[in-house]
Structure 1
């Protein structure tokens, strides 16, 4: 995974599509879904860490605007 698109594709692989027209809310929902997938052991620790890093980076970029 290298970007937000890749994180969304990971969610899509498990049947989850998130789009609310509110970018900040989308990032929060994506983060919750990633946490849940990790908790249920659907994704590896590496996938979880990478996804969370990407999401936190995107949140900080968005907050700076």
Structure 2
């Protein structure tokens, strides 16, 4: 049975990996937006929700 410290370490490692996957999807979506792809296409490819894609598109316009 893992110690509490080992469990925290494993939990943190899993959480970090999940965050990395999401960050990768966001970076991909930003590239797709720059390429002119539609929100629907980006949503299908990245599995990000439409609200996140709209947020990314809006932040690109304000930069």
Q: Say whether the fold is shared (TM-score over 0.5).
A: no
TM-score grouping bracket, smaller chain normalisation: 0.3 to 0.5
After TM superposition, the score normalised by the length of structure 1 is: 0.33
After TM superposition, the score normalised by the length of structure 2 is: 0.34
- Look at both structures and tell me which one has the larger radius of gyration over its CA atoms: 2
Bigger relative contact order (CA 8 A; separation at least 6): 1
